[in-house]
Copies of this chain bind each other. A is one copy, B any other.
Amino acid sequence: MTDTKYSLDEIRLRLNELDDQLLQLLSERRRFSIEVAKSKVETSKPVRDASREQQLLVKLINNGKDKYQLDAPYITKIFHTIIEDSVLLQQNYLQNLANPQQSRKPLARVAFLGSKGSYSHLASREFFSRKNTELIELNCDQFKEVIKTVESGHADYGVLPIENTSSGSINEVFDLLQHTTLHIVGELTQPIDHCLVATKDIQLEKIKTLYSHPQPHQQCSEFLSRLSGVVLESCASTADAMQKVQELARDDVAAIGHASSGKLYGLQSIQSDIANQTENHTRFIIVARKPVEVSTQIPAKTTFIMSTSQEAGSLVETLLVLQRYDINMTKLESRPIMGNPWEEMFYVDVEAHKDSESMQLATQELIKITKYLKVLGCYPIDNVKPVIPDLNA
């Protein structure tokens, strides 16, 4: 670049051209990622190859520095996103091959809790948008209704929140899973980003009434304690709260909700990140009547429930089985068994394909030492763990 002065319009025109070229390259890169997946179908190699990703990233960082004056953190961040996308795309391709029936359905009926803009609604949209599936959305009032709607065949899938980083596990869903015939076919972890939304960009001190579900209220208590003279009104859901604000169409009311949800109700975010704990995620599971086939080439999670004998140490014994087979447990949760107050049901998530050799052997051993064991599902792991570039190698 010479020292010639560009006008802001000229610069923006050039930036637009560059951005369009970026999109084109990203699109072409995706097509070749699918080619990689195709070649892996034949070789049965796993989708992820940590040493190759490591190599690729280090080469990109070195090239970026030497040839293009780009720094390592920037390149790492951009290519973590690109690699994540490529991995998910390849997994999706292999999953479609493994589940030819589902992949031929471009339309799915999905049941979830709450109305338009609820966190479950946003999660449903995100999960199926990755699969290029159009949705028919079925709003339910209760978790139980979500399960029933799928069990009865009125919906193909149900989306249920299962745990939240700030408020913990959602016990009701765990208890329902004990008795359903449905299978877990997927998972999704979603950031819960509480914002204050209103009909227009009003000042905080103007707010007289704030509508919200009690849980977000509690999760934003520190921020709310700083608002003086505001009346807090409880609603059945964050979506209801936003609908209320939309209907009132006044400039002295606001609701707590996600910025994207607010937009569905024509509301705008007047203050973001208002939660006490700024990092807040909810994990959702997707349930269906039929289990999903998981390609052995992609990282899988298996969820099972079990009850052990009441002898001391019997739980530890089961965990030692998993450890012996080098199976990583990502979650362990215990819930009382309904109608049997002295026994506990354990919910276990492991990072393993249910058909892998180690998992098969572990399951055989577990069956011997537990009173009850049932696999709730085996499904692709939602998050793509980024490779940390080793720049000293």
A residues with a Cβ closer than 8 A to B are 1, 6-8, 11-12, 14-15, 18-33, 35-36, 39, 43, 56, 60, 63-64, 67-75, 77-79, 81-82, 85, 126, 129-130, 165, 203-205, 226, 228, 259-260, 263-264, 266, 269, 271-273, 277-281, 316, 319-320, 323-324, 326, 328-329, 332, 385, 388, 390-392
Contacts and interface: CB of A to CB of B under 8 A. Distances in A.
Given A63-B23, A75-B23, A226 B319 contact: yes
A133 to B, nearest CB: 12
B126 A73 contact: yes
A71 B129 contact: yes
Contacts of A326: 203-205
Contact of A263 (B12, B28, B263, B390): B390
A74 B25 CA distance: 13
10 contacts: A1-B31, A23-B64, A27-B64, A27-B70, A71-B129, A71-B130, A205-B326, A226-B332, A269-B388, A279-B280
Contacts of A20: 63
Nearest to A19: B60
Nearest to A268: B390
Contacts of A329: 226
Task: State the main secondary structure of chain A at its contact with B.
Answer: helix
A278 B165 contact: yes
Copies held by the complex: 2
Contacts of A129: 71-73
A228 B323 contact: yes
Given A165-B279, A279-B281, A320 B27 contact: no
Given A68-B23, A71-B129, A18 B29 contact: yes
A35 B6 CA distance: 7
A51 to B, nearest CB: 11
A77 to B, nearest CB: 5
Given A25-B22, A165-B278, A259-B388, A32 B8 contact: no
A390 B78 CA distance: 23
Given A11-B36, A26-B70, A273-B385, 17 more contacts: A8-B43, A11-B39, A12-B36, A15-B29, A18-B28, A22-B78, A72-B129, A73-B126, A74-B85, A81-B81, A203-B326, A204-B326, A205-B323, A226-B319, A228-B316, A228-B320, A279-B281
B67 A23 contact: yes
A300 to B, nearest CB: 17
Contacts of A320: 228
A66 to B, nearest CB: 10
Contacts of A278: 165, 281
A106 B77 CA distance: 25
Contact of A35 (B11, B35, B67, B390): B11
Contacts of A264: 392
Contacts of A74: 26, 81, 85
B388 A260 contact: yes
Most buried by B among A6, A23, A72: A23
A164 B186 CA distance: 33
Contacts of A130: 71, 73
Contact of A23 (B21, B60, B263): B60
A336 B14 CA distance: 56
A67 B25 CA distance: 12
Contacts of A12: 36
Nearest to A269: B388
A127 B63 CA distance: 22
A43 to B, nearest CB: 8
